[in-house]
Chains A and B, each alone.
Chain A
């Protein structure tokens, strides 16, 4: 699908997505600003912002090999974990002033162990993310949020006040509102932006100083108001899956005529569809509740699958989706299970669905094309 947008702002987002250190982040660093990496979207970035740092979602963008990481991990580990660790071992993450983890999955939780032993980053912090979503876990994770706040403040020699935390929450909520607005535009018959372009916008949001990003996004939304939409699609697609930060993957789907109009991705709706409750009395509790109960959850959370499934079905309805594509990184157990369950749920609901395996660095484009074409044909498109 041809891009219709000739937007400078979009180009800035796309550039930020295709590299690690984008110009805006570089200029933040040049002014003495600090950047703290997050290995997973469950790290409460608001705390990092409140500490006066830029949260940066760790990726493997630009990696071409896993030679160094292969001395730590093995071939049955997912390619995201291998590429991102490889980059760290090569020094590509030397720009980070800190890095934070949750034990997302069996692969990423060990990256923490390797990083701690092999990479020289001034500040490291691991949060114990629970695997259930009841009030007890909200309480536990709120304590974890408080511990991150204390530990980061101690490391930086500052205090992080409640007021600063609220300011950060409001700033991040603003991002979420703007991003959701962008998604709302895609509900139309002729969405003004493609799925690939949207992913670039979303990824850029995890790599730039937040106020600057919000300002750019506002500008983009204004531009989109006057742009022509896409009407040449064969089908409207909902894309779901784990870590996907490469717009080129979606481009291949869209080249076949499947316009991605919505998603459930961790560089997508899962991080912004809902807001942190600004009416709570305690910002730490508000964050604890948001991350464990408030936002759409990842497969690793027990007790939440019916909700996740309902979320997908609601998106299908709201975005008038013709079919659902689910992508999974080879070796990812969390998404194997999730794909299996979704297959059953969507079959029951009569929604066309296809599961695709992929590697973190784009490969097998021909096969992807063929599978997508077959899927579109199967839907009679």
Chain B
């Protein structure tokens, strides 16, 4: 039975409560950063500013009963931008610093709800937020069936939820291997996604507008690549605090194909270039250049990442998000655009690129990064949700042995510091660095 308008309105009011709190948090951070004239801090401030802008947009749509959708970075956000459809990630909260005050409480509440503790905490939390009515219900949703089982199950559970089951959802089906057949198939899935969005919102896709968006996003990716090259410098101009995560947030979430995002990239390249020319590293004495092959530990990032720099002179030169080989999308016609988007969103988007298909894909990424960035060691954090990655530790170790670069697998939860405490992680890493004669 479809939910009535009044129920939907109630759901919206409740769902927006937490959402507005998060916006306020980012507002607060933006104001804080605004007081610091440092150029890089200003770049970070812009990222929090565009984050707030997205929050504002979703809140406005929700309150004015205008369409907004649930979507994903690796499901062609270029299309949502071209259709002028504001979107948010139902999985975003655990990844944002704004969730810090209640993250652990929420993890416990998810457990009490009966969501298995060995299920990715990001998925558990996201489902909990929906079950508990803490996410604003979108007009319709694009779900995700990759890169992991947990995401596949999360989206099925969302569709099944008694309140959200009226919200139509479309998921693109990800082909497993990288080849032309896979590209053609995924391009077809993206076209079907467009049909779905047109059916469930009042928007139509204008191909010329899509071209404009793609042309602009091509510029962003070109600049991102330029920036990624700059990070090869010794000492590395930036560490964990600036890089892949922000580039990803700008180009694939908050400023997809928007000139403001391109301008942000220009500034990033400009600032970084100057630092490289001046041989200015993120820390004064860079002793270890490490490759962090995963997401950052969002739930306890400030307790851990700075320690690596301060205690060990260890600089995160590259992470899983920072160096995927983006190619420009060919904008000649509709067909080339959809195929280009298929390739970009499936084979080039971070995480989906490394975790989706056969092991050769991530193996080649490790080899590329280790060589290109003169890496001293590879750290595989081993998030408890990343079962495919944890099923790959033997292959990662083997590749690192071939590359003659030390490798460590920690085993942690990116969100819940109680799984492996920051202290335990520090201890493990410290012993590893010492044993390998690093630092």
Same assembly: yes
A299-B120 contact in complex given A105-B149, A112-B358, A343-B114, C-beta closer than 8 Å: no
Which of B278-286, B290-298, B381-389, B400-408 interfaces with chain A? B381-389
A113-B390 contact in complex given A336-B116, A341-B160, C-beta closer than 8 Å: no
**Most central of A71, A143, A306, A337 by chain B CB within 10 Å:** A337
Q: Which residue of B lies closest to A129 (CB)?
A: B176
CB of B115 within 8 A of CB of A107, answer no
- Expressed in whole angstroms, the minimum distance between the Cβ of A69 and any Cβ of chain B is 9
Question: How far is B189's CA from A55's CA once the two chains are assembled, in angstroms?
Answer: 33
Does B261 touch A at the CB level, under 8 Å?
Answer: no
- Expressed in whole angstroms, the minimum distance between the Cβ of B414 and any Cβ of chain A is 13
CB of A136 within 8 A of CB of B154, answer no
Q: Which residues of B contact A140 (CB under 8 A)?
A: 175, 185
Q: Which residue of B lies closest to A103 (CB)?
A: B176
Q: Which residues of B contact A303 (CB under 8 A)?
A: 171
Does B174 touch A at the CB level, under 8 Å?
Answer: yes
A305-B160 contact in complex given A74-B382, A76-B118, C-beta closer than 8 Å: yes
Q: Which residues of A contact B249 (CB under 8 A)?
A: none
Q: Which residues of A contact B155 (CB under 8 A)?
A: 302
CB of B173 within 8 A of CB of A130, answer yes
Q: Which residue of A lies closest to B189 (CB)?
A: A136
Does A110 touch B at the CB level, under 8 Å?
Answer: yes
Which of B7-15, B94-102, B312-320, B391-399 interfaces with chain A? B391-399
- Expressed in whole angstroms, the minimum distance between the Cβ of A72 and any Cβ of chain B is 3
Does B433 touch A at the CB level, under 8 Å?
Answer: no
Question: How far is B102's CA from A121's CA once the two chains are assembled, in angstroms?
Answer: 51
Does A158 touch B at the CB level, under 8 Å?
Answer: no
- Expressed in whole angstroms, the minimum distance between the Cβ of B166 and any Cβ of chain A is 14
Question: How far is B181's CA from A72's CA once the two chains are assembled, in angstroms?
Answer: 31
Q: Which residue of B lies closest to A112 (CB)?
A: B358
Indicate which residue in A72, A81, A128 contacts B176 across the interface (CB closer than 8 Å): A128
CB of B156 within 8 A of CB of A77, answer no
Does A114 touch B at the CB level, under 8 Å?
Answer: yes
What 1/0 flags go to B195-232 for Cβ under 8 Å of A?
00000000000000000000000000000000000000
- Expressed in whole angstroms, the minimum distance between the Cβ of A311 and any Cβ of chain B is 15
Q: Which residues of B contact A106 (CB under 8 A)?
A: 148-149, 386-388, 391
CB of B119 within 8 A of CB of A333, answer yes
What 1/0 flags go to A328-365 for Cβ under 8 Å of B?
10110110111111011100000000010100000000
Does B42 touch A at the CB level, under 8 Å?
Answer: no
Q: Which residues of A contact B385 (CB under 8 A)?
A: 333
Q: How large is the interface on A (under 10, 10 to 19, 20 to 34, 35 or more residues)?
A: 35 or more
A302-B119 contact in complex given A74-B393, A106-B387, A333-B153, C-beta closer than 8 Å: no
Does B177 touch A at the CB level, under 8 Å?
Answer: yes
Q: Which residues of A contact B185 (CB under 8 A)?
A: 140
Does A131 touch B at the CB level, under 8 Å?
Answer: yes
CB of A74 within 8 A of CB of B391, answer yes
Residues 366 to 393 of chain B near chain A (Cβ within 8 Å): 382, 384-388, 390-393
Does B417 touch A at the CB level, under 8 Å?
Answer: no
Question: How far is B155's CA from A202's CA once the two chains are assembled, in angstroms?
Answer: 32
Q: Which residue of B lies closest to A304 (CB)?
A: B156
Question: How far is B311's CA from A318's CA once the two chains are assembled, in angstroms?
Answer: 66
Q: Which residue of A lies closest to B145 (CB)?
A: A131
Q: Which residues of B contact A131 (CB under 8 A)?
A: 145-146, 152, 171, 173-174
CB of A338 within 8 A of CB of B148, answer no
Question: How far is B339's CA from A151's CA once the two chains are assembled, in angstroms?
Answer: 27
Does A109 touch B at the CB level, under 8 Å?
Answer: yes
Question: How far is B358's CA from A328's CA once the two chains are assembled, in angstroms?
Answer: 25
- Expressed in whole angstroms, the minimum distance between the Cβ of B140 and any Cβ of chain A is 15
Residues 76 to 118 of chain B near chain A (Cβ within 8 Å): 114-116, 118
Q: Which residues of A contact B359 (CB under 8 A)?
A: 110, 113
Does A153 touch B at the CB level, under 8 Å?
Answer: no
Indicate which residue in B152, B156, B189, B384 contacts A341 across the interface (CB closer than 8 Å): B156
CB of A340 within 8 A of CB of B157, answer yes
Does A132 touch B at the CB level, under 8 Å?
Answer: yes
CB of A333 within 8 A of CB of B115, answer no
Does A317 touch B at the CB level, under 8 Å?
Answer: no
Does B325 touch A at the CB level, under 8 Å?
Answer: no
**Most central of A74, A107, A328, A334 by chain B CB within 10 Å:** A74
Indicate which residue in A110, A305, A338 contacts B391 across the interface (CB closer than 8 Å): A110
Question: How far is B387's CA from A344's CA once the two chains are assembled, in angstroms?
Answer: 26
CB of A336 within 8 A of CB of B118, answer yes
Q: Which residues of A contact B152 (CB under 8 A)?
A: 131, 300, 302, 334, 337
Question: How far is B171's CA from A74's CA once the two chains are assembled, in angstroms?
Answer: 30
Q: Which residues of A contact B175 (CB under 8 A)?
A: 128, 130, 140
Indicate which residue in B143, B182, B189, B392 contacts A113 across the interface (CB closer than 8 Å): B392
A333-B177 contact in complex given A76-B411, A106-B388, A341-B156, C-beta closer than 8 Å: no
Residues 57 to 75 of chain A near chain B (Cβ within 8 Å): 71-75
Q: Which residue of B lies closest to A139 (CB)?
A: B185
Question: How far is B156's CA from A107's CA once the two chains are assembled, in angstroms?
Answer: 20
- Expressed in whole angstroms, the minimum distance between the Cβ of B293 and any Cβ of chain A is 14
Does B409 touch A at the CB level, under 8 Å?
Answer: yes
- Expressed in whole angstroms, the minimum distance between the Cβ of B265 and any Cβ of chain A is 33
CB of A333 within 8 A of CB of B120, answer yes
Q: Which residues of A contact B411 (CB under 8 A)?
A: 74-76
Q: Which residues of B contact A136 (CB under 8 A)?
A: 173, 188-189, 192
Does A117 touch B at the CB level, under 8 Å?
Answer: yes
CB of A74 within 8 A of CB of B150, answer no
Question: How far is B388's CA from A111's CA once the two chains are assembled, in angstroms?
Answer: 10
CB of A77 within 8 A of CB of B153, answer no
Q: Which residues of B contact A248 (CB under 8 A)?
A: none
Does B159 touch A at the CB level, under 8 Å?
Answer: yes
Q: Which residues of A contact B146 (CB under 8 A)?
A: 131
CB of B114 within 8 A of CB of A340, answer yes
- Expressed in whole angstroms, the minimum distance between the Cβ of A172 and any Cβ of chain B is 25
Which 3 pairs, one residue from A and one from B, show the smallest C-beta to C-beta distance?
A337-B153, A72-B394, A110-B391
7 additional A-B residue pairs with CB within 8 Å, beyond A302-B152, A305-B156: A75-B411, A105-B387, A128-B175, A128-B182, A131-B145, A143-B181, A336-B150
- 22 pairs, A vs B, C-beta closer than 8 Å: A71-B394, A73-B390, A73-B391, A73-B394, A74-B390, A74-B393, A76-B390, A81-B391, A107-B387, A107-B388, A109-B391, A113-B358, A126-B176, A128-B177, A132-B171, A137-B173, A140-B175, A299-B153, A300-B149, A302-B152, A334-B152, A340-B115
Q: Which residues of B contact A (CB under 8 A)?
A: 114-116, 118-120, 123, 127, 143, 145-146, 148-150, 152-157, 159-160, 162, 171, 173-177, 181-182, 185, 188-189, 192, 358-360, 382, 384-388, 390-395, 398, 409, 411
